[in-house]
């Protein structure tokens, strides 16, 4: 067909679909236990049945009505939404205002995700899997703008009937617009934004709906009297660059519907990371350590499931106002040692003992997917290995790229980067909305480029 062109693009109009599974972990549990459908349901990381430790990975919409949010401590979630099994025996609790809790079961979720991926690859020639629960599809050669809505509805129906989970789908000429569209009418949504309508679609949306804008950036933009995506699209690019660096120009382009990226399949990632934002900056070291332990375990588990060994373990710490600090330690060779990931991450975190922190992240890099033997770590201690330190950098280095950002903050895990260069994250960013990442378990939703980290 004769495709229109968007300002800022250099080629024929793509037809891009972004598929985002709704509350994926909770949906998987509801598929396994149909009685949980329509019930408040919380899925916890580092959680065991009957326990009070761990963090919320995702919560069903019914649980969110009680104020349960991704990355929230299970103990706090239980204060807002008691366990139904306990409410039955406690006269002080109301059974109607109680819910169900389940531990994360990644093997099961991966098996369900594999069924979804099979459908996506059958429906599109080009698929970019961003995380366990979201993907971009280029269907330019399969459908036209006149037929794409019907195609997308058929895709949603196929996923629900064959796999038993719901998906929201956004279709647009660009990846960033498709991402926002898929989140616009959740759950079970379908939004099509045709060429020429992208900027109008964005104009009245809250600025935090723009791909790459999280809560911290949204507050900073508000201080510049930029409240909507339309305000951002009309903002002075030089002012944005001065305040946010190149990322300021980038989010402005996205708000204007300008995005030259094309959907490309991913090879082996160069790194795996998870990050989580606190609702407010905290100097509580116990809270910081708890979050880093959870993230370290999630990253190590992800690496294990992908068959990846890692030679570098690092953390990211964002301190007010937007200072990004990265620390890393290199090992003698590639290993698969979950306990070591946790130990090194916590050791590196010690430098920020007294600092108020907005966000923390854990990353493993220098990945090795070969079947060789693991490196010998005899003599490797907390102070051994090669230390790599990156000084604080302003938000222009990408303190807040969100891609993980997507489903409603699933998994409580976000991303270090939404980097088409090979940095992989899963699920969405914690407390930054969904677009979790390529970031963005996303956590990943579910998507900051720290190329040297």
According to the model, what pLDDT value does residue 83 have? 92
Q: How far apart are the first and last CA of the chain?
A: 43
- In angstroms, the CA 415 to CA 388 distance is 20
Per-residue pLDDT in tens (0 to 9) along the chain, 453 residues: 333 333 333 345 799 999 999 999 999 999 999 999 999 999 998 888 888 888 899 999 999 999 999 888 999 999 999 999 888 888 888 888 999 999 999 989 999 999 999 999 888 888 999 989 999 999 998 899 999 999 999 999 999 999 999 999 999 999 999 999 999 999 999 999 999 899 899 889 999 999 889 888 999 999 999 999 999 999 999 999 999 989 899 999 999 988 888 998 877 777 888 878 788 889 999 999 999 999 999 899 989 988 899 999 999 998 887 677 999 999 999 999 999 999 999 999 999 999 999 889 999 999 998 865 555 555 444 444 455 554 444 333 333 333 333 334 454 333 343 333 344 443 333 333 333 333 323 333 222 222 222
Q: Are 218 and 229 in contact (CB under 8 A)?
A: no
Q: Are 452 and 427 in contact (CB under 8 A)?
A: no
- In angstroms, the CA 304 to CA 44 distance is 20
Q: Tell me the C-alpha to C-alpha distance, in Å, between residue 363 and each of 254, 299, 357.
A: 27, 7, 17
- What tokens does 397 get? 């280095």
Q: Exposed/middle/buried for 121, CB within 10 Å: 0-12, 13-18, 19+?
A: middle
Helices 106-123/148-163 angle, 10° precision: 150
**CA quadruple 366, 310, 132, 294: dihedral, nearest 10:** -120
Q: Are 411 and 25 in contact (CB under 8 A)?
A: yes
According to the model, what pLDDT value does residue 97 have? 92
Using alpha carbons only, give the angle 322, 327, 332 rounded to the nearest 5 degrees: 160
Q: Which residues contact 34 (CB under 8 A, 6 or more apart)?
A: none
SS3 state of residue 389: strand
- In angstroms, the CA 377 to CA 85 distance is 46
Q: Which of 29, 69, 134, 275 is catalytic?
A: 134
Q: Tell me the C-alpha to C-alpha distance, in Å, between residue 347 and each of 51, 293, 343, 381.
A: 27, 11, 6, 11
According to the model, what pLDDT value does residue 103 have? 93
According to the model, what pLDDT value does residue 11 have? 43
User: Which residue in the block uniquely carries the two structure tokens 């339309």?
Assistant: 230
| 3-state SS track over 74-93 | HHHHHHHCCEHHHHCCCCCC
- What tokens does 207 get? 């600025």
| Phi and psi angles of residue 116, each rounded to the nearest 5 degrees, phi first | -65, -45
- What tokens does 378 get? 């005899």
Q: Which residues contact 150 (CB under 8 A, 6 or more apart)?
A: none
Q: DSSP assignment of 5-49, as one string?
A: --TT--SSPP-EEEEEETTHHHHHHHHH-GGGTTS-EEEEET--T
Q: Are 180 and 35 in contact (CB under 8 A)?
A: no
User: How many CB atoms are located within 10 Å of the residue 279 CB?
Assistant: 12
According to the model, what pLDDT value does residue 279 have? 80
Q: Which residues contact 197 (CB under 8 A, 6 or more apart)?
A: none
- In angstroms, the CA 441 to CA 130 distance is 11
According to the model, what pLDDT value does residue 386 have? 53
Using alpha carbons only, give the angle 362, 363, 368 rounded to the nearest 5 degrees: 150
pTM: 0.63
- In angstroms, the CA 332 to CA 450 distance is 23
- In angstroms, the CA 376 to CA 123 distance is 45
Catalytic status, residue 134:
yes
- In angstroms, the CA 326 to CA 336 distance is 22
Looking only at Cα atoms, what is the longest distance across the chain? 68
According to the model, what pLDDT value does residue 287 have? 93
Beta strands at 167-172 and 16-21: parallel, antiparallel or unpaired: antiparallel
């Amino acid at each position: 067909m004769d495709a229109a062109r968007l300002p800022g693009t250099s080629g024929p109009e793509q037809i891009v679909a972004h598929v985002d599974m709704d509350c994926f972990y909770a949906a998987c549990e509801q598929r396994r236990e149909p009685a949980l459908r329509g019930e408040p349901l919380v899925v916890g990381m580092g959680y065991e049945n009957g326990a009070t430790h761990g963090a919320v990975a995702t919560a069903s919409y019914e649980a969110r009505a009680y104020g349960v949010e991704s990355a929230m401590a299970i103990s706090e979630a239980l204060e807002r939404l008691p366990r139904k099994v306990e409410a039955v025996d406690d006269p002080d609790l109301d059974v109607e205002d109680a819910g169900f809790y389940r531990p994360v079961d990644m093997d099961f979720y991966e098996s369900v995700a594999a069924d979804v991926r099979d459908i996506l690859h059958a429906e599109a020639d080009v698929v970019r899997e961003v995380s366990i629960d979201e993907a971009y599809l280029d269907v330019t050669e399969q459908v036209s703008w006149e037929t794409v809505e019907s195609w997308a509805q058929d895709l949603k129906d196929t996923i629900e009937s064959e796999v038993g989970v719901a998906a929201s789908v956004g279709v647009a000429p660009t990846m960033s617009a498709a991402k926002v569209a898929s989140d616009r009418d959740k759950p079970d949504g379908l939004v099509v934004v045709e060429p020429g309508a992208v900027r109008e679609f964005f104009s009245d949306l809250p600025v935090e709906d723009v791909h790459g804008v999280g809560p911290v950036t949204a507050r900073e933009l508000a201080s510049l009297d930029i409240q909507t995506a339309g305000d951002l699209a009309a903002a002075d690019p030089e002012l944005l660059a001065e305040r946010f660096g190149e990322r300021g120009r980038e989010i402005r382009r996205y708000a204007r519907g300008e995005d030259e990226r094309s959907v490309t399949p991913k090879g082996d990632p160069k790194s795996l990371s998870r990050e989580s934002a606190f609702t407010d900056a905290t100097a509580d070291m116990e809270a910081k350590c708890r979050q880093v332990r959870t993230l370290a375990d999630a990253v190590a588990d992800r690496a294990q499931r992908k068959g990846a060994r890692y030679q570098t373990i690092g953390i990211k710490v964002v301190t007010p106002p937007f200072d990004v600090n990265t620390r890393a330690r290199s090992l003698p060779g590639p290993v698969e040692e979950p306990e070591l990931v946790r130990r090194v991450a916590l050791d590196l975190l010690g430098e920020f003992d007294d600092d108020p922190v907005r966000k923390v992240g854990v990353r493993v890099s220098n990945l090795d997917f070969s079947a060789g033997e693991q490196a010998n770590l005899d003599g490797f201690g907390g102070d051994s290995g090669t230390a790599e330190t990156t000084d604080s950098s302003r938000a222009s280095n990408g303190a807040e790229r969100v891609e993980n950002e997507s489903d409603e903050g699933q998994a409580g895990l976000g991303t270090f980067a939404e980097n088409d260069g090979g940095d992989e994250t899963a699920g969405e960013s914690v407390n930054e909305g969904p677009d979790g990442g390529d970031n963005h378990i996303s956590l990943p939703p579910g998507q900051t480029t720290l190329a040297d980290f």
